[in-house]
Structure 1
Amino acid sequence: MLVSLYPWIKALHVISIIAWMAAMFYLPRLYVYHMEEVERGTPTDEMFQRMERKLLKIIMNPAMIASWIFGLLMVATPGMIDWGSVWPWVKAAAVIAMSGMHGWLAAHRKKIASGDGALPGRSYRIANEVPTLLMIVIVISVIVKPV
């Protein structure tokens, strides 16, 4: 059954990954502007908090969940992955790291909202590069399948 649905599962996986990555690239950028340009307690601060919360809750979380569901369905499809190769393990490690980064960003949304423990904008600017690096590892693992 999964074999016949594989193209649909793969398409839905790619769609959910695109949505997840878009949010993963945008949320830390919002944090940078929030920390560097916005005064706490102002209407702009409230607007940024609302944008960050909605991006996380309405787009990023559902996209990550869908990515995991469709990805696991692809993994469960018989004969589609050669677990004797290195690439699926590298991809799995990078996906777990990406999920960890997702959690880190979610935790920092709460810190920014509470005003307790938020980092300077430069730290979020650096963190903004992590999803890009992980995405590169994931795409090369899946497309090139080195070793």
Structure 2
Amino acid sequence: MTMENSSNVDQPSKWKLPILIAGFVIVVALVFYFVFEGTKNDITILNAGEKIEAKTHAATVGEALDETGIKLGAHDSVSPSKNTKIKDGMEINFSKASQVSITDNGNETKVWSTKATVKDLLKDENITTRPHDVVNVALDTKSKTV
């Protein structure tokens, strides 16, 4: 064996250190990713009969709705309130408001409502119907379709 050959055997590969560093970086990144994902809270959003399961790091209900693409309007309904702190397993009820016209004795009023049916909408507006009143739609009609 010559001197030249023995020195090549004893030298560490020039790729050994970069490979070790890259491996370490990948392991650290994976640990951070799994810790990040594992610390998210599970929430359920009920929106117009649609159930949305989500994981979030949001601090409040409003932030969680933003993360899922739900924008709160001024007349929309959300329960618990948008400032409520998020808890794991929380259920959030969201209803989008729509503007509805009500004509009562010839007087038209426009109101914002999140009620599901015409009957609930009228009750919310303190309007009672009597047997001889004319109602253009059935009271069980979904108020979003009127």
TM-score if structure 1 supplies the norm length?
0.24
- Greater gyration radius: 2
Which gives a bigger RCO, structure 1 or 2 (Cα 8 Å, sep 6+)? 1
Structure whose residues are more often strand by fraction: 2
